[in-house]
Chains A and B, each alone.
Chain A
Amino acid sequence: KQEVTQIPAALSVPEGENLVLNCSFTDSAIYNLQWFRQDPGKGLTSLLLIQSSQREQTSGRLNASLDKSSGRSTLYIAASQPGDSATYLCAVRPGNNNAGNMLTFGGGTRLMVKP
């Protein structure tokens, strides 16, 4: 059974810092990995999606990397801003196509960026 772990569970940084959020998964047979953002009381918004054949994806100040063989992904946030404060979740989709679009989520990292 796939298990996804995110460390740390919470992180507080001053504005302007570069930071890295970690995601690890136990079964390397994945189809893709996604990073989501969740604001308090809101649903999830997709940030980046990395296919299993890719090593990284970038969007603005965000860069996500994937090392499938070691079961790890990182989300790098450059020049953090207070508006980046949210919970960040990673989710993996199994490589077995019979599983359809069933995602396994990590527990999330709650990020606070202080002005």
Chain B
Amino acid sequence: NAGVTQTPKFQVLKTGQSMTLQCAQDMNHNSMYWYRQDPGMGLRLIYYSASEGTTDKGEVPNGYNVSRLNKREFSLRLESAAPSQTSVYFCASSPDRVSNEQYFGPGTRLTVT
């Protein structure tokens, strides 16, 4: 039982490049989330998926797109990376949208130059 896994662990992009961050969970959870963490600012929600087939914007969705590929996988895409998107990205999952506990992946550290 791996929990929540994220790939890659580290990535460096040039401004304007695109990439997709992958997230998968093996806990049969319905809800999944993408956060970004910037120094001193805690985590901010980018997008979430309450259940397979649905996605909704969080607090900071601009510049990102998401895909809930199936129940296990939730990907985050940067179409045209900008230096302001340099951050650590965390994926999380929870049994459902009303469950109290979220389980977090180890994060992806992204640098955009």
B interface, size bucket? 20 to 34
Contact B42 A101 (CB under 8 A): no
Interface residue SS majority, chain B: loop
Contact A100 B97 (CB under 8 A): yes
State the total of A-B contacts with C-beta under 8 angstroms.
62
Interface: B102 (CB within 8 A): yes
Name which of B13-21, B67-75, B103-111 contacts chain A: B103-111
Residues of B within 8 A of A49 (CB): 100-101
Q: How far is the CA of A93 from the CA of B44 in the complex (A)?
A: 13
Contact A43 B44 (CB under 8 A): no
Residues of B within 8 A of A41 (CB): 106-107
Contact B58 A102 (CB under 8 A): yes
Contact A44 B90 (CB under 8 A): yes
Contact B42 A105 (CB under 8 A): yes
Contact A101 B97 (CB under 8 A): yes
A interface, size bucket? 20 to 34
Interface: A89 (CB within 8 A): yes
Interface: A61 (CB within 8 A): no
Q: How far is the CA of A81 from the CA of B100 in the complex (A)?
A: 28
CB distance from A51 to the nearest CB of B (A): 8
Q: How far is the CA of A46 from the CA of B103 in the complex (A)?
A: 8
Closest to A43 in B: B104
Contact B104 A101 (CB under 8 A): no
CB distance from A6 to the nearest CB of B (A): 8
State which of B31, B45, B106 has its C-beta within 8 Å of the C-beta of A42. B106
Q: Mark B85-100, 1 if CB is under 8 A from A, else 0.
A: 0000010101011111
Q: B residues engaging A (CB < 8 A)?
A: 4, 31, 33, 40-45, 48, 50, 58-59, 90, 92, 94, 96-102, 104-107
Could you write out 7 A-B pairs with CB less than 8 Å apart? Answer: A42-B107, A43-B104, A46-B101, A93-B100, A101-B100, A103-B102, A107-B41
